[in-house]
Structure 1
Amino acid sequence: MDPSVIPTLAAVISAIIGGAAGEAGKNAWTSLTALVRGRFGADAAVTSAIERAGTRPPEETAEIIAGHAATDPAFEESLGRWTAETVRLIQSKHDVSNTIGGDARITGPVVQAGDVFGSINLGKP
């Protein structure tokens, strides 16, 4: 599986677990658990990752799911579609408004964004 999918999947899982997507997020979570259990229901490591997703870092859950997807091209394709669709769903359901007003004085880097799926790097590596 393309390694760049893992941070996106982790961000989606985090947003859903954190309640950012509301009812749509609950439906997305239900569809992800059905997708994973339908393919890996007998694999305790994968189903455990889903069951304990709220108690572990989202990156860990995403890595477990993506690692198993790498061994199954059909599941990998389904997971990619689920991730892309859920990103669109979350982004369409989440309004963001950033305001700087009054006598604000900004002297350094500022990033204003809604949900970020991936990395933001400021400065030199």
Structure 2
Amino acid sequence: MDPVSVGLLASLAGGAGGEVGRQVWTALTTLVRRPFHRGDGGVGGPVPGEDELMRLQQAPGDETRAHALSTALAVRAALDPDFATALIVWHEQAKLVRTGDGSVNNAISGGSYYAPVLQGRDFRTTFNTSPPPRPGEPDAGE
């Protein structure tokens, strides 16, 4: 399993994603607090990830704490196959939450634009258009 993104963990701990983000964070908290089942059949002992989860909740913007939680989740997933399966399911759901860790920069500058302007995150296009004809001038397309 790929490690859980440090940015995703820090964003969710800080409340990003609104109500959906809070629900996803609560689901992770519940998952981490489940009993720890080691791959050798043993149960109990310190729960990997629980301390790291609490520390990140105390300081959600701290990337060092988010990194420690990401590492603890990966270690626990390696030791507990049931946890690994549940973490994969959680991670797929968490990736759908808009946390603001993407970057969007829309800029229109220089010149005059005489056509619809499309702005967005996942596409780029340029429209080269001529200005509309002045009153009394023939249209170039005629």
Larger displacement relative to structure 2 (60-69 or 93-102):
93-102
> Number of aligned pairs?
101
Corresponding letter in the other structure for 2:49: V
Question: How much has 1:45 moved relative to structure 2?
Answer: 4.8
Provide the residue aligned with 1:83 in structure 2. 91
Instruction: Choose the corresponding residue for 1:21, options 17, 26, 31.
Output: 17
Partner residue in 1 for 2:30: 34
Larger relative helix fraction: 1
RMSD of the TM alignment (CA)? 3.1
Q: Which residues of structure 1 form unaligned runs of 5+?
A: 104-111, 115-125
TM-score with structure 1 length normalisation?
0.65
Where does structure 1 differ by over 4 angstroms across 4 or more consecutive aligned residues?
93-97
> What percent identity do the matched residue pairs reach?
25
Higher RCO (C-alpha 8 Å, min separation 6)? 1
- Correspondence 1:68 to 2:71: no
Give, as a single letter, the amino acid of the residue that structure 1 aligns with 2:105: N
State the TM-score, normalizing by the size of structure 2.
0.58
Larger radius of gyration: 2
Unpaired runs of 5+ residues, structure 2, are: 37-43, 111-119, 123-142
Task: Please tell me whether the aligned partners of residues 32 and 49 of structure 2 are also in contact (alpha carbons under 8 angstroms).
Answer: yes
The Cα shift of 1:17 comes to: 1.9
